[in-house]
Each structure stands twice: as structure tokens, then as C-alpha cells.
Amino acid sequence: MTRRRLILLLLCLFIAISFLGGSAIWSVLGLADDLDIDGTAETVRAAPDHLGNGWDAYGGDGFGNRYSRAADITPDNVQDLEVAWSFQTGALEGRSEAALRRAAFETTPILVEDSLVFCTQFHEVIALDPATGAEKWRYDAAVPTDGKPANQFTCRGVSYWKDSKQAAATPCSTRILMGTVDSRLIALDAKTGRKCTGFGEEGEVHIKSSVPLRWPGEFQITSAPAIIGDTVVTGSAIGDNLRTRAPLGTVHAFDIRTGRLKWTFDPIPRDVDDPARASWAGNSADEAGHANVWSTIAVDEERGLVFLPTSSASPDYYGGDRVGDNLYANSVVALNGETGEVAWHFQTVHHDLWDYDLPAQPGLFEVWRDSKAHDVVAQVTKTGLVFVLDRDTGKPFLPIEERPVPQGGAEGETLSPTQPFPVNTPPVVPSRLDPADAFGITLWDKMACAGQIRALRKEGLFTPPSEQGTLAYPFTGGGANWGSTAYDPTRNLLVVNMSNIASFVRLTKQTGMENQADSITDGAEFAPMEDAPYTMQRGPLLSPLGLPCVPPPWGVIAGVDLSSGEIVWRKTIGTTQDLAPGGLALPLGTPNFGGPVITGSGLVFIGAAMDNYLRAFDVETGAELWKGRLPAGGQATPMTYEYGGKQYVVIAAGGHSSSGTKQGDHIIAYALPD
């Protein structure tokens, strides 16, 4: 098909949508309109006094609320927003093409010491004036960018700590902590950006992998460390699917003043006295690696607990050598922040074979129900499911049940007969796809998609990987991902954005040649899975025109009432403006990376989608109220603050190499005109 004919087809679809409306055109194309939920979130109380008073952590606070009381920007005046200032980091200058192909600007700034502080893709820490965007100081971690890079060059954020035992004027009495892609943990003076030389060796601690690395970035740190008391806690990001005997996913905790190691926690139970070891057949817990914590850790200072979102054991797509549920992988694990001892745990996927690790920060929220407050942990997942647990015990706050799931795995595999499912909250995105549901803007590509779907195993969520090829829906990128959620405590409303994309996974018996592979990345189409009997191939399910084979919308944002589990509203997020030929802005939604924030006036701000916009939605109804054009992809979570009597909304606009969005180095601040 020629580019001209494709543009004409997309133009016809655009016109049809414009005149008929979304629901009507989906009916014309034979698509189910099951993602259109309209409702209103009702106010139940005023926000608790301790919430929304600043933005001193990656998630707004240690709980991960991503909520601010700032309320000058309202649904009535949001249309007046304009760029208040813009800052370019210069981080892309002089970088190799190889490094840029693996770079993603995912940072969220924090507001501390009268400065906006953030990290770039390449781990430069920069402090800006919150009112003008003028640079105040800069520190470069000098991470190596030559040779074979890691999964991504990315840094989602930095963390802040204030020493209660030191005078404010003392150097390093306030500190910025950052992890790096070469697995260092660095401490900086929050006022000057100079290294805190008393921390570790000259201001940094090098966290070493448990086994020799195949390439420098197989083991790295990409998320902001957690701060609890005088302790800094960090997980690690590890390359998936290269080998079974992979690096351990150990979580490390250090004294924040000295860098002395305080405790470690391995999510795979090596200790024979650990009750979780019974969920691993024989001595398989001694052989597997990973179950690492690559996403953001949540902190409850009052309870003295840190909450880990753990990932899958290695390799992701074959578990015949690790029979059992495989605790503490794929779990929310609450640890004592001072000792690292397990307080409780809840597993969201038993014996994971789908790379359905926990990608998002556990949300520590206060839900108002039965005329009293309840402290919960809300965990969103790649599967599109939302689990809500009691924060003290890990028991379900909203009911969860074990349901039978598809069986008949690959030769040598032993599947879990059931998986946990929330009872009250349906999946935010679908998990079933039949050939008749295939999407196409022409009969030709619709039939091509139907043929691909027909050839795959597809019994719904948790259909096991196979040599035939298995439909993975949602795909390994989610559902939800690292952008996590935002929570409105006045309405009990959890807001989450998710992708609605499918992929295929195909196992192939090893031939002996695959182990020569010396690198693997999360986006690879081939993975050797050394020491397993199979190799793995995976990729998105796309039509010959390069469009997703699943019915749109391909990206959604939803509001979930955490007191009942009801999905109150669910809307499309994103258009094809920066994807389709000619810039046609079809309202089909897009896959999205980055999360939402909520303001005291009832607005949700989010970038994330693959068109270059920052958007504002009404938190009560999900209606889109405004969008501001960004100079590059907005695959980052925004933040908001009040400074000098003015409210600002800030987002990193630098794109994401894996999403194919435009790369850049901008920090953009929006505000109302004076």
C-alpha cells in the first residue's frame, strides 16, 4: 500500500470519527465499546492534613499519593495555562547514537531547599530556581555511555533527606540520593550539589552484582531510592531472560550518613528456615536469580515499613526448574525498614511465566469507608488488575479470590492451577482477544491480524507460553507500568493509566548455539534463556500497516473508587498525531509510559501518551479539559507545586527510545498568566 493511500484511509477514518463520534465508529468497525465507562467520583471528605503539602519525593511523598493541595489552577481556568519557563539540560549533546537509542527521559523533579531537583537520562543531577527555571547547580555522575549499554539510560528521580542531628548550615545536613546505571548510590549536598565525601567512598557506594556481568549495564539502578529514617534503600534493574543463573535481585539498605551497609533482602529465599522457601521445589531457590525490585519502593515512616514491588524470577518465560509459587517473586513485600525483616507479603502472580512483574510503586493510601479511615496498599499491575490490601496485615481490603487459569504448559513446565483475581474491580484493560475482534482500517489488514490471532494459543489471561506461540494480552509493557498511580483522598479515587496492547510469545527448543549470545535487553525479540530447555521470541501483535491488532483505544486512563473497587470512569488517552502520516490526530489512544498527578482543585495532569502533549482531565468525570504541546515526548510523570504565590505544573519532555517518541532535553513549567 502506498503512503498516499494510507493517508487517505486514515483521513477517512478520522472524518468518520469526527462526525459519528467514538462509540458509533467503533460499532461501524465491529468493535466492542466495553472501555467506555462514564461516572462521577463524589467528594467524601476533606484531604487529611498531612497529605499534599509539598513534593519532596518522587511520588509526591513516600506514600506515592502524587497528590497536591495546590488549587489555583482549576477546571474553569485550566484552558488559560501557558508555558511559564523552559529549561534544556544539554544532556543529549555529544552522546553516541548507540547511547541515544537506549535513552529515556523519565524523571520527575522534587521541590526541596527552594530548588527543583531532578536527574537527566545520563545521571546528571540539576537544581533549578522554581520560579524561573534558572540553573542553580549541577553534578555529573559521569556514567559510561560507550560500549554495550544497558536496558535503558534512564533515571526516574532523586530522593531527599534532612539530618535532624545537624545544623542547617552544616554541609550535607540535607542530601540528595541517586542511583546510577553503573550501580552506584551517590550522596550529594542538597544545597550545593557537591559530593558528601563521608558517605561510602568519597560520596558513593558501589553495589556489586552477585555474579560477573555479561556487559556493564546488565545490573543497574534506575528508580529513586527510598528514604526511611536514617536509612536509604534501593533495588536494582537487571536484564531479563539472558540466563537462569542470573544476578540476584538483592535489595540493599545503607546508613544514610556513612554509607555503611545495614541489611540486605533477597526476594528469593535462600535461607532454609524461611517459610517462603517451601514455595520453591527442592533447592531451586538456590539456582534462580532476579525477583529484583526495579521500580519505586514506598515508605510508611510511622509504621517503620518499606513496601517492595518485586519482579519475576529468572528466566521470565520458563519455570520448569523452579516449580512452585516462587515467593517472594511477583509480590508486594512489607519489610521492617531498620532490619529488613519481612512483616508480610502478598503475591499477585504465582509462578510467573509471562514477565508480569510488579512495575509500579505500591500506593499507601487512606481510604474513607464506614465513617472511618482505613490505611491500605493499592497495587496496579501489568495484567490490568488492581489489588487493594490492608496495610498492617497484607490481607485483602477489597476481596480477592483464586480462580482457575489455563493449563497445559510447555514440556517440563508445572503451572499454578489458579491465580489471584480482585472480585470487585474488573480488569482496567481487556485480556481476551478472538480473531473476530481483530482491528484493521482495511479488510486486508484486519484479516491479516485475524490470521495472526488465530494461529496463537489464546485462552485468556495466564495462557502459558508455548512452541505454537501464545497471545500475551496485556503485553509485557502493561497494563500499568512504572508511572504508577495518583490518589485523590477526598474522593477515594485511584487514577491509573494503562496500555491496551497485545504481543506474542513463542518458545523454541534449544539447539546449543543460543548460549553464544552475550547480551539481552527487555525489548529484544529473541532471548537465549541459558540453562533452560527453550529460547524465547516475543514481539507486539501488529498489522501489515504497523497498527496494533487489538481494538482501540490503545491507551486508557481510569478512576477507581478504592472504597468499593468500582471503576467510576474510564477514558481514552492519546491520539495518533505524532504517529500517523500527515499528523492526523485520530482519537484511538496510544500505549503510554509515565503517570498521573492530582491537584486540590480536581485536576489530573498527565503526559505519558505517544503524542507530545501534557493533558489535564477532570478528576470527577475523566473528561479531557486541556492539552499543552510539548517539544518532545512526555514519557515522564509530571509534578506540581506552589512557589512565590503561583502554582506550576512541571514535566520532563525528552521522549523514550523504546516508544519511538521524539527525544529531547526539556523541563517545561506551565502556569496561569500573571
Report the pLDDT value the prediction gives residue 2, as an integer from 0 to 100: 41
Q: Which residue has the cell 489489588?
A: 387
Answer yes or no: is pLDDT of 328 > 60: yes
Report the pLDDT value the prediction gives residue 49, as an integer from 0 to 100: 95
Three-state secondary-structure class, residue 435:
helix
Share of the chain above pLDDT 70, in %: 92
Tally the domains of the chain: 1
Query: Among 446, 353, 460, which residue's Cα sits nearest to residue 405?
Result: 460
141 part of a folded domain:
no
Q: CA-to-CA distance for 81 and 656, rounded, in angstroms?
A: 25
- Side by side, the strands of the sheet bearing 342-347 are 298-300, 305-309, 331-336, 342-347
73 part of a folded domain:
yes
Q: How confident is the model at residue 580 (pLDDT cuts 50, 70, 90)?
A: confident
At 368-388, the pLDDT tens digits run 999 999 999 999 999 999 999
Answer yes or no: is pLDDT of 1 > 70: no
Q: CA-to-CA distance for 103 and 272, rounded, in angstroms?
A: 41
Cell numbers standing for residue 118:
531532578
250 part of a folded domain:
no
Q: Quote the mean pLDDT of the chain.
A: 92
Amino acid identity of 648? Y
The pTM (predicted TM-score) of the whole model is 0.94
Higher pLDDT, 426 or 240: 426
Q: How confident is the model at residue 523 (pLDDT cuts 50, 70, 90)?
A: very low
β partners of residue 93: none
Query: Among 168, 146, 159, which residue's Cα sits nearest to residue 186?
Result: 159
- Asked whether the beta carbons of 531 and 243 are under 8 A apart, the reply is yes
4: containing domain: 1-99+486-497+562-674
Q: CA-to-CA distance for 578 and 655, rounded, in angstroms?
A: 12
Report the pLDDT value the prediction gives residue 10, as an integer from 0 to 100: 52
420 part of a folded domain:
no
Q: How confident is the model at residue 35 (pLDDT cuts 50, 70, 90)?
A: low
17 part of a folded domain:
yes
Answer yes or no: is pLDDT of 23 > 60: no
Q: How confident is the model at residue 512 (pLDDT cuts 50, 70, 90)?
A: low
Q: What is the mean pLDDT of residues 23-46?
A: 63
Report the pLDDT value the prediction gives residue 7, as an integer from 0 to 100: 47
658 part of a folded domain:
yes
Residue 443 DSSP label: H
Answer yes or no: is pLDDT of 489 > 60: yes
- Asked whether the beta carbons of 391 and 385 are under 8 A apart, the reply is no
User: Do you find a cis peptide bond into 643, omega within 30 degrees of 0?
Assistant: no
Calculated CA dihedral for residues 298, 308, 566, 426, nearest 10 degrees: 150
Cell numbers standing for residue 519:
547480551
Report the pLDDT value the prediction gives residue 98, as an integer from 0 to 100: 87
Query: Among 489, 466, 463, 483, which residue's Cα sits nearest to residue 475?
Result: 463
613 part of a folded domain:
yes
Query: Among 65, 42, 46, which residue's Cα sits nearest to residue 566?
Result: 42
Catalytic residue among 189, 355, 357, 618: 355
- Give the pairing type, strands 666-671 and 503-509: unpaired
Q: CA-to-CA distance for 249 and 246, rounded, in angstroms?
A: 9
Three-state secondary-structure class, residue 453:
helix
Share of the chain above pLDDT 90, in %: 83
Cell numbers standing for residue 162:
534532612
Is 355 annotated as catalytic?
yes
Q: CA-to-CA distance for 420 and 80, rounded, in angstroms?
A: 46
Report the pLDDT value the prediction gives residue 4, as an integer from 0 to 100: 44
24 part of a folded domain:
yes
Q: What is the mean pLDDT of residues 571-589?
A: 89
Report the pLDDT value the prediction gives residue 524, as an integer from 0 to 100: 46
Lowest mean pLDDT among 24-38, 47-61, 408-422, 535-549: 24-38
Q: Is 131 exposed, middle or buried (0-12, 13-18, 19+ CB in 10 A)?
A: middle
Answer yes or no: is pLDDT of 84 > 70: yes
Cell numbers standing for residue 240:
531479563
Q: How confident is the model at residue 657 (pLDDT cuts 50, 70, 90)?
A: confident
Q: How confident is the model at residue 37 (pLDDT cuts 50, 70, 90)?
A: confident
Q: What is the mean pLDDT of residues 236-244?
A: 89
Report the pLDDT value the prediction gives residue 15, as an integer from 0 to 100: 44
